[in-house]
Structure 1
Amino acid sequence: MPQVGTVKQQDFKTCDQSSFCRRNRAYADRASADPNFVSPYMVKEDSVLLKDGLLSGELINSQNQHLFVFELHLLENSISRLRINEKSPLKPRYDEVKNFALARELPNTLNYTERPINTKDHDSLTKTSIYFGNKKQNMVVVHHSPFRIEFLVNDLPIVAFNDRGFFNFEHLRIKKQAKDNGDQTSDESSSEDAEDEYGSWEENFNGKRDSKPNGPESIALDISFPGFGHVYGIPEHASSFSLKETRGAEVGYSDPYRLYNLDVFEYELDNPMALYGSIPFMMAHRKSASAAILWLNSAETWIDIVKSKEDKHGLSSLLYFGKKLPTSTHTHWISESGIMDIFVFLGPTPADVFRQYGSVTGYTALPQYFSISYHQCRWNYIDQQDIDEVDLGFDTNEIPVDVLWLDIEHTDGKKYFTWDPAKFPDPKKMQNSLSVKGRKLVTIIDPHLKRDDGYYIYKESKELGILVKELNGNDFEGWCWPGSSSWIDYTNPAAREWWGSQFKLDKYQGATENLFVWNDMNEPSVFSGPEITMPKDIIHHNAWEHRNVHNVFGLLVHSATAQGLRNRTPISKRPFVLSRAFYVGTQRYGAIWTGDNMAKWSHLAASSPMLLSIGISGISFAGADVGGFFGDPDIELLVRWYQTGAFQPFFRAHSHIDTKRREPWLFGEPHTTRIRNAIRERYALLPYWYTVFQEASETGMPVIRPMFVVFPEDEETFEIEDQYFVGDSLLVKPIVTEGQTSTEIYLSNNEIYYDYFTFDPVRGSGRIKVDAPIEKFPVLLRGGSIIPRRQRIRQSSALMRLDPLTLLVGIDQNGEAKGSLYMDDGETYNYQNGDYIHRNLTYSSYSKLISTSFPISGDNTNFVKSIKDVRVERVIIIGLSKKPTKILAYHNDENNEVNNNQGLTFTWGQKDVLGTGVTFTNTNDQVLVIKDPKVLVWRDWTIEIVF
């Protein structure tokens, strides 16, 4: 939340201003320009060893004879991992990011078959080939001279390392004394004498000096995806979903994509500039194949992307039988420091990639139920009376809300864990008033600490010695919201434990169990620092420089806060913590948002590709500030943003301190009703959202899904970024243009869909025009889907938890449909012991709607008792060809005795059957509404339709 203004490009580096990026790009240019260039890195033949799923050996740089060690781990579940480090570095290179980013270390697979080592290929070059995978469908080929690795699935090349020879590992070295002419040299020269170049041993940017005591230490590698024309991921960027080229004749950008967590306010769109989060995960997809890589490095990283029609892997015959030349994507990864640690996920489907990636980095944590509801925030609600009035405004206008938020002005002089005594004299009373209605409060807790010995948090952390240090050993001092500030060193486990303990209810004065947390400014943002962040040469735990840990810093703040909230009560409850900065593994701790966006139509449009990129990279619980953080949206934009936000995973309205107030009821009719309807629709669909989140927590599937994930064989979907699925059932097309009253939705495979609000059938393939007046949001129910809903919209989600459910059934062209319903207590970890229900819902062509239980490992007695009377009060079936004569319902465990031999009450054709206030004329007479079948949600039951 820095000062208002347009983004200042001069505050942030380009690749050319970052010496290690410039150096490695130049190395790639020389390699590409020289037809005789051969990568100098070779495998030492006598060093190669294959044992227990690990291929290891030594590499030598033939230019300077420096030695490296490599380990190629063949892991379970079609995952591989390549690690390369110096054999004998002058000092240890940073290799601790794995301890923070990874959820688990997978064992090496023993299911592999090796070809004899040192066999000869057709070029008489030595190589090692290994088949692995459950069916030995995967193969990895390590070429020894020059060093190159290929990964194949079913004999088709998928991923290649050092295919273009850009591999470059700058070894640590001793700096020689400057020559008389001022040149800087070393005892050994890397490729092109890196240490002679400006910026290798010292670098200045905007008057800020980086001392670079270790000299040049970058790592770089080209990674190719043969036959893949599209790659995705590497968030966070305000860019397209299918990533653009950064070099070549027809480039999208002139600079590489940058991963370096930064506080970039009013960020520009269509730009590869770094933003608040960094996930070095890239996914490639083509028909019948998906693959991905994770570049596990937390230092500043740049990624170039180029595409070509070259066919060095013979793909035109393998994939297209010579009919056309496939596009391949080539990437160049460059990190400032650390070691090379790369995971390869071989799919072959998108779902397989997400499962593989999540098995390593962890799946999305199942959130508390309230947190996927609607959140109301601004910088700042000024005092306790303001909160009370906003709370009352929601009730008066019959708009549900679950969470109210307080920004930095609620504190006593920007000292976190405190309250302004004049503005918030009784914070517990305020929270308790909210909790009566099932509502929560979120307060902001930033990682910078006001340097004031009267501030207990700063005083304790200084005395414990857990603050980030200067090179001279003093506590680092920078400038942020409180003025002169210091920062906790979250890389120190003792610091993280201490930080978490501050959330205990006897320490965080004024907090209750209904208070949750927002970690902002945790890139970290340092107003006085280079690029508005920490200097790279300040010191963290175990004497590591900040350059090594920068991108993981925000993750460590987030994880320590989440752990603190888990530990603050005798029975642990799931935390809710929102973080602005993020990295690999953030999904295990909480939600993030896309940062300080603007109240512009273009930023509303950009939210979809940004969230899709973040979602496929592991973080499903993400959203964009509804209405835009900077500026004042006109009412049409605000309404459209609410409609969009209601169908994004994290749903929060937020705005800058200088913006006009924009609570949903302030704009008068008919706008209040339109916004109310959007929010109420979110609440009606909460059972479905929660079920999809549960799926994400077990499988890694994104909550909102790109079109190609749902239709992986349809090439027309590969670039689509302006529409997406929630789960596999709801197709959403945000309206992002002023004055727009209709839109086109792309439909794949001639499936049948239904307008979610009117139930009218929508058929066809390709782009279909649909109406989208301001009061209506384009959402389609996919044929073959069953959606659980709640119709009785109350003040908060907590007050709806025991309400009956409605099932919305959209029949496909085969007369079938399926879905599921997941329920637990919504706040504890009891579900991990089996205390939940998970129902499998199917509608068959035999005209039976059946609910059975998925297998449950554990005892769900307690939860079942808590919902024993929750029933299905309505079933809506769309797409029947004729009116039934009778409908029967029975619980399957009662000897199939029909509950009502006279049949259930039903209607055929209905208006506004969803009942959330959105009313349209239904022209589809194939709608059956079954009223109160009285089947209990936790039991096996059948509803039989008789014609």
Structure 2
Amino acid sequence: MVSYKRLNPEDVQFSSAVLSEEPRPVQEEVSVSLCLEPSAVIFKTAVRIVTPQTSQTGVNNTAAASRREVCTLIPEAWRFDCYPERGVVVTKELCEARNCCFIPASSPSSAARPSGRNGIPWCFYPPDFPSYSLVSINDTSLGQRGTLAKEVKTYYPADILTLEVEIRHETDSRLRVRVKLSKEPFGLIVKRSSTGAVLLNSTVAPLFYADQFLQFSTSLPSQFIYGLGEHRSTFLHDVHWNTLTMWARDVPPMEQTNLYGAHPFYLAMEEGGNAHGFFLLNSNAMDVVLQPAPALTWRTIGGILDFYVFLGPDPGSVIEQYVEVVGYPAMPIYWALGYHLCRWGYNTSDSAWEVVKNMRNYGIPQDVQWNDIDYMDQFMDFTYDSSKFATLPDMVKDLHAHDQRYVMILDPGISSTQPEGTYWPFDEGLRRQVFIKDAEGRTLIGKVWPGLTAYPDFSDAVTHEWWYDNLKRFHEKVPFDGLWIDMNEPSNFLDGSTNGCPSDSLENPPYTPGVLGGLLRAKTLCATAQQKQSIHYNMHSLYGLMEAKASASALKRIVAKRPFVISRSTFPSQGMYSGHWLGDNRSQWKDLYTSIAGMLTFNLLGIPLVGADICGFSEEPEEELCVRWTQLGAFYPFTRNHNAIDMKPQDPTAFSPLARTAMKQALLLRYSLFPVLYTLFHHAHVHGHTVARPLMFEFPKDVKTYGIDKQFLWGKSLLVTPVLDPGVDYVDGYFPEGLWYDYYTGYSVRSKGEELPLQAPLDKINLHLREGSVIPTQTPNLTLWVSSGQPLHLISALSDDGSATGDLFWDDGESIDTYETNQYTYIIFSVAQNVMTSQVLHNNVEATYITVELASFYGVKEKPSRVLVNSQDASFTYRENQVLTVADLGLNLSQNFTISWM
């Protein structure tokens, strides 16, 4: 890890994101170069060293002419923006006052964007722009420590001239760099030793380190960049002058704006299929600029430069290494993986209850019923409307009697206008001083659904205890099972507060990233607001993470089971405490498509429990869209149907018999695959694996997979190809090279790495099994509590050599830390040379109530003459499409067994 650090008492501490184990020395995987020379500017593959000038003033005519000549030699793709401020028409005079190059871009498409945002910059750094020199360097036990200095201040105020850089080889696959304040140009180059690929090269543009402006750039090894959430975009980011802003914001998903969460992490693919990752540990507002060199610029307005490089070398390993730093995702409680149903606008508890009963009557699976803010009394937290929702406790009791669960929404804004003594959450919050203060130390008042509100400061442990007390008191009235925390960017219907915000450099910094609204306080709190750990300027994007941590902790104490929390705002480490839904989407086909990229991105970010509102939140979906969305949503790791107030119902019971049946089939399919999904979440929790997985993770040498975001995998084995367009009964799917089997029939297709047309009538979503895999499935039922006790069906998709492997993790589904306390069963299934073996590697949970009743083998090339189960003859069937099926097995899951054929 490399970090540039300024010693600042307001530095935010991220104690939950750092491992406690001692770092290990790095193996010879990368070489790290600290450049003592001036900036090396990369023009395609050539490196040109230019001597820095000693002053920003006094350039004579000859020097000016020379400067212009040097500027023209810089290719457009390698021009780094020297005037990134928004709202400024950049002129030649303004640009050259910064001692930068000014050349209007040649591309007509850039002519209207002279400032360079989402276009080629007209004002850009020359190779000799003043930057830092490395003036000393010393070895340490884990790496190196050096001092950086520069003689010339840049154009940003409070420019810092002396810095300390610390490089730590923390593990075999993790490099950390920290740059901070200590008492010409410095550069850092990281190369992969095995291939020579340059993973990081900060010499391509000058380093800035001012009080409220930190900037550094790096070349990229390719144009294949992923992550950098939360944004609505394709899974593969566009590097053609694309600026991604990070600053948590309440806004329906749209392109080219900052959304609910902030995740300064990217994964980059290299030539040949290797991958690496980069994580900037910084919570301040920032811009990340991608340009086609390819190169990337980080531009943040606070904190320090503290970053990690994860060496992979495959993309899955990169995510494992990232999650090792930020924290492994929690193992979800079993019912979290069922079908959830919600809407804003049930209006009464009886109407919500009626939907639940209709779902049961139609035999449609449902594990969880939710309520949005309409259940509350005047939208106030920890209350329910005693007239319209009088039967809410009875509904929850009925849900529990049917092995179903209840989740309700909570917003952080606490009503501040109730008569004293009538609203305990606010009165007690004032008494304990849990609310965020304004710059003058008064309780900051904003406005959300209940009207004027105060905001809990979740950076304070006192607030966590107050939050728990409120939840416990409400749980005694309505025994909820999980929490939905919304509006936690935090959202505000005002800009700042009822009293406005001070006029200073925190509210109006020298550089403001491209946040929606143009101000840090736009529809949120004042940047100058005071929290326990720091000012809101530093803490803003951490709000959702801290509320999730408080909520998960409280739920553990209240229900004594794994906590279920879904949060809208997120930050690195969030997966330890909550899942995420992708926000207030629309009922449009485009939103159906973009949900896949969102789901895949959050799996990269260590938050695998993620999904979009099925059928869309706002607007009313056409029936076909809702069917197709339910089919795709059945393969979201988190599956919830949710829609907005004043919209027609969109739960499965609201549609025609044909549509309702198609939705039911999709949900039963999901429930049948619960053992697969549950095992994948185990591997996410223990190893940092993805659950919903991009194809490129399994086929990193196949460049055709790099941009695919219309298909995805569950784990390594199950390929999902949904219909994303209206009025079609087929879909084109890409099949990487190898043997694939239709999940439903066992028919095989051998692909050379090609796109193939697939039949897709309205009642079908295409699924294919990858050769070499074994998956356990179950007979589905109306809830996962019932489904999870049903007999298993093992499906083996054989490779050409007849081999396959798979596994199953099993526990009681709800106890905390079952893996950590050895209260689980883990089984490996393998097939080789016509023999399936089930090997119980760990069995500390009574699993004898589950049996294996059916085994299917896809790709058995010849009809067997005999099948043996534990050396005893068994009946079987064999179909012409090379599918062998052995039924009525009655095998105990907790005991080893074999199935063989000859």
Could you say whether these structures have the same fold, taking a TM-score greater than 0.5 normalized by the shorter chain as the test? yes
Does the alignment pair 1:906 with 2:876?
yes
Q: Distance in 2 between matches of 1:596 and 1:24?
A: 41
**Hey, what does 2:576 align to over in structure 1?**
588
2:213 is aligned to 218
SS at match of 2:799: coil
Quote the Cα distance in structure 1 between the aligned partners of 2:869 and 2:172. 43
Measured against aligned partners, the alpha-carbon deviations of 1:823-852 in whole angstroms (never above 9, x if no partner) come to 1111012332111111111111x2111111
Written as runs of structure 1 = structure 2, the 5 A alignment for 1:306-325 is 306-308=291-293
Name the SS of the counterpart of 1:752 in structure 2: strand
Hey, what does 1:182 align to over in structure 2?
none
Separation in 2, partners of 1:660, 1:364: 36
Matched residue SS, 2:457: coil
Map Cα deviations across residues 150-180 of structure 1 (whole Å, 9 max, x no partner).
3433261332242212310113xxxxxxxxx
Give the alignment of 1:901-940 within 5 angstroms: 901=872, 903-909=873-879, 925-940=881-896
1:49 is the counterpart of 2:34? no
Q: Counterpart in 2 of 1:632?
A: 620
| Candidates 544, 547, 550, aligned match of 1:560 | 550
Structure 1 Cα separation of the partners of residues 747 and 397 of structure 2: 45
Q: Tell me which residue corresponds to 1:189.
A: none
CA contact (8 A) 1:417 1:509 kept: no
1:573 match: 561
Q: Helix, strand or coil: the match of 1:611? A: helix
Q: Does 1:433 align with 2:418?
A: no
**1:884 corresponds to which residue?**
864
Partner of 1:489: 457
Deviation, 1:597, is: 0.4
Work out whether 1:537 is the aligned partner of 2:528: yes
Inter-partner Cα distance in structure 2 for 1:24 and 1:363: 46
Query: Shift in Å at residue 458 of structure 1?
Result: 1.1
Structure 1: how far apart are the matches of 2:674 and 2:858?
A: 21
Alpha-carbon distance in 2 for matches of 1:164, 1:617? 27
Q: Residues 29 and 246 of structure 1: is their aligned pair in 2 closer, same or farther, counting only changes over 3 Å?
A: farther
Given residue 931 of structure 1, which amino acid in structure 2 is its aligned partner? A
Are the equivalent residues in 2 in contact too, given 1:354–1:699 (CA < 8 A)? no
**Partner letter of residue 937 of structure 1?**
L
Which residue number in structure 2 is paired with residue 8 of structure 1? Answer: none
Residue type at the aligned position of 2:220: F
2:383 touches 2:474 (CA, 8 Å); kept in 1?
A: no
Q: Is 1:69 aligned to 2:60, yes or no?
A: no
How many Å apart are 1:775 and its aligned residue? Answer: 1.4
Equivalence for 1:802: 789
2:237 aligned residue: 243
Deviations 1:845-901 (A, max 9, x none): x211111133x4xxx54x22xx213110111111112222222222xxxxxxx4xx3
Alpha-carbon distance in structure 1 between the residues aligned to 2:98 and 2:636: 42
Alignment of 1:740-779 (within 5 A): 740-749=728-737, 751-765=738-752, 766-779=754-767
CA distance in 1, matches of 2:127, 2:402: 73
Residues 1:873 and 2:840 aligned together: no
CA deviation after TM superposition for structure 1 residue 345, in Å? 0.5
Q: Which amino acid is the alignment partner of residue 828 of structure 1? A: S
1:801 offset after TM fit, Å? Answer: 2.4
Q: What is the aligned partner in structure 2 of residue 460 from structure 1?
A: 428
Any idea what SS the aligned residue of 2:596 has?
Answer: helix
- Residue deviations 1:109-155, cap 9 Å, x none? xxxxxxxxxxxxxxxxxxxxxxxxxxxxxxxxxxx843333343326
Q: Measure the CA separation in 1 of the matches of 2:126 and 2:288.
A: 24
Give how far 1:503 is off. Answer: 2.5
| Counterparts of 1:28 and 1:685, CA distance in 2 | 62
- Corresponding letter in the other structure for 2:724: V
- Report the secondary structure of 2:664's partner residue: helix
2:674–2:788 CA contact under 8 A, matched in 1 = no
Which amino acid letter does the alignment assign opposite residue 645 of structure 2?
Answer: I
Aligned to 1:840: 828
User: Residue 510 of structure 1: which of 468, 477, 480 is its match?
Assistant: 477
Aligned pair in 2 of structure 1 residues 39, 824: CA closer, same or farther (>3 Å)? farther
Match of 1:417 in 2: 382
Q: Distance in 2 between matches of 1:693 and 1:28?
A: 53
Contact (CA 8 Å) 1:437, 1:795: kept in 2 or not?
Answer: no
Q: How far did 1:232 drift?
A: 0.6
Contact 2:125/2:205 (CA < 8 Å) preserved in 1? no
Q: What is the CA-CA distance between 1:16 and the residue it aligns to?
A: 4.1
Q: 1:36 to 1:389 in 2, by over 3 A?
A: closer
The correspondence for 1:285, drawn from 263, 269, 287, is: 269
Deviation at 1:35, TM superposition (A): 4.5
Structure 2 residue corresponding to 1:524, chosen from 490, 507, 513? 490
Separation in structure 2 between the aligned mates of residue 246 and residue 584 of structure 1, nearest angstrom: 26
- Residues 27 and 166, structure 1, Cα contact 8 Å, conserved in 2: no
Which residue is equivalent to 2:79? none
The amino acid across from 2:216 in the alignment is L
For the residue of structure 2 that corresponds to 1:262, the secondary structure is coil
Tell me, in whole angstroms, the C-alpha distance in 1 between the residues paired with 2:87 and 2:830: 57
CA RMSD of aligned residues (A): 2.3
Deviation at 1:387, TM superposition (A): 2.7
- From 332, 340, 344, give the equivalent of 1:367: 332
Say if 1:155 and 1:677 are closer, same or farther in 2 by CA, change over 3 A.
closer
Deviations 1:340-396 (A, max 9, x none): 111111111112211211111112211011001110010032223223211211111
Structure 2 distance, partners of 1:625, 1:370, is 18
For 1:669 and 1:375, locate their aligned partners in 2 and report how far apart those are by CA, in whole Å: 21
Residues 7-156 of structure 1 mapped to structure 2, 5 A cutoff: 16-17=85-86, 30=101, 33=124, 35-45=126-136, 48-64=137-153, 66-87=161-182, 145-154=185-194, 156=196
| Equivalent pair of 1:552/1:583 in contact (CA under 8 Å) | yes
Structure 2 unpaired stretches of 5+: 1-82, 103-122, 154-159, 496-520
Residues 3-22 of structure 1, C-alpha deviation per residue, up to 9 Å, x if partnerless?
xxxxxxxxxxx974489x99
* Separation in structure 2 between the aligned mates of residue 455 and residue 469 of structure 1, nearest angstrom: 20
SS in 2 for 1:44: strand
Alpha-carbon distance, 1:497 to partner: 3.1
Cα pair 1:729 1:782 within 8 Å, conserved: yes
How much has 1:27 moved relative to structure 2?
A: 7.3
Contact 2:853 2:890 in 1 (8 A): yes
Q: Conserved in 2, the CA contact under 8 Å of 1:221 and 1:332?
A: yes
1:475-528 deviation digits (Å, cap 9, x = unpaired): 101110001011001112221232234323x5543132x521100000111011
Give 2:258's aligned residue.
274
Using the TM superposition, name which of 483-492 and 59-68 deviates more.
59-68
Q: Does 1:474 align with 2:454?
A: no
Amino acid aligned to 1:695: H
Q: How many residues are matched? A: 760
Distance 1:609 1:30 in 2: 38
Give how far 1:665 is off: 1.7
In structure 2, the CA distance between the partners of 1:771 and 1:221, relative to structure 1 (3 Å rule), is: same
Task: State how far apart, in whole Å, the 2-side matches of 1:484 and 1:772 are.
Answer: 51
> Is this contact kept in 2: 1:427–1:510, CA < 8 A?
no
Q: Distance in 1 between the 2:642 and 2:126 partners?
A: 55
1:598-634 per-position Cα deviation (integer Å, ceiling 9, x unaligned): 0000110111112112211221111000000011110
Q: 1:62 to 1:15 in 2, by over 3 A?
A: closer
> Which residue is equivalent to 1:231?
225
Give a deviation string over 1:676-700, Cα, whole Å, max 9, x none. Answer: 0011111010111001111111221
Change (3 A) 1:477 1:713: same
Aligned twin of 2:631? 643
Is 2:692 the counterpart of 1:709?
no
Give a deviation string over 1:18-40, Cα, whole Å, max 9, x none.
89x99999979659845441442
| Shift in alpha-carbon separation, 1:428–1:28, aligned structure 2, 3 A | farther
1:941 pairs with 2:897:
yes
Q: Could you tell me which amino acid in structure 1 is paired with residue 451 of structure 2? A: G
Question: Quick one: distance in 2 between partners of 1:850 and 1:709?
Answer: 28
